[in-house]
Amino acid sequence: MHLELLELQRRIQGRVPVPTLDLSAETIARHQAEGRPLLPFDAIPLELSDLRLMVRQTADVLKRFGALDDFDYQRVQAIGRDMKLLALVGEWYRSTAERSTVAPAALGHVVPPESPRIQDAMAEVLGLAMRPFLSRCAEVLQQRPDLALWTHPHCALCGGAPDFAVITPSAERHLICGRCALRWKFEPLTCPFCANSDRTRITSFAARLGDADYRVYACDVCHRFLKAFDARRSARPVMPVVDSVATLPLDAAAMQRGYTS
């Protein structure tokens, strides 16, 4: 199912035009200071017919694999045809992108990501359907050296929470956004969900699955965990979707120890 979704996203992403974004050093520095994500909804290069296609086909794939029940499937198909789709997607996007702002006085302190207002199956479908458009924007920001200025636990581009990470060959930990797949450097032993930086209260364990090394970081304050691909001894780069699925046994192990994703 994940491979089919990935294929669908790749096909659409190839058609998304390169966005024109203001990513000057000054803009990035200002947004870093405010903790404010860089991409406003209006700047996303959204083609409505492609978005409709993504919504409907994503729902088809999820339904075929039993990940969407009939009721939700009908709801998603209806919204895929509805004129309100753009408004709904805008609300979904903004609920996360515009909620995190750090007051200047609180600089150095991190704000935990909040959950979006549109919950459930609809949010999942919208998130998957928006991925090609958001990832296209992330590709542009990823090239900018000033991205290294970003120190927050939420995504510099879209404000999304990290849902995977990678340990680079130089032993840095880079978080990977669950919405747009942007990667950014973050303290290796600080919890991105509650800002706990007491290393004695971070439980970390390594695991080898197949031909890849992974690490789980679990927080003993908020009890959430984050998985990471360890690229230090790997012949291939991280593949977030593939690695998330390959590491499902680690979710089970972490949950057995009382942590949640």
Residues interacting with Zn ion, by CB under 5 A?
155, 157-158, 160, 177, 179-180, 182, 191, 193-194, 196, 219, 221-222
Shortest gap between Cβ of 128 and Zn ion (angstroms)?
14
Single out the residue of 244, 38, 22 nearest to residue 134, CA to CA: 38
Shortest gap between Cβ of 7 and Zn ion (angstroms)?
21
Shortest gap between Cβ of 223 and Zn ion (angstroms)?
7
Of the pair 122, 194, the CB lying nearest Zn ion is at 194
Contact (CB, 8 A) for 230 and 214: yes
- Cite the beta strand spans of the chain per DSSP E: 162-167, 173-177, 183-186, 202-209, 212-219, 225-230
Of the pair 68, 92, the CB lying nearest Zn ion is at 92
Of the pair 5, 177, the CB lying nearest Zn ion is at 177
Shortest gap between Cβ of 138 and Zn ion (angstroms)?
6
Of the pair 68, 183, the CB lying nearest Zn ion is at 183
Shortest gap between Cβ of 214 and Zn ion (angstroms)?
19
Single out the residue of 94, 188, 181, 96 nearest to residue 142, CA to CA: 181
Single out the residue of 217, 216, 155, 215 nearest to residue 183, CA to CA: 155
Residue 100: Cβ within 10 Å count: 21
Distances (CA, A) of 189 to 114, 220, 237: 21, 12, 22
3-state secondary structure of 48: helix
H or E stretch at 60? helix 48-64
Of the pair 59, 155, the CB lying nearest Zn ion is at 155
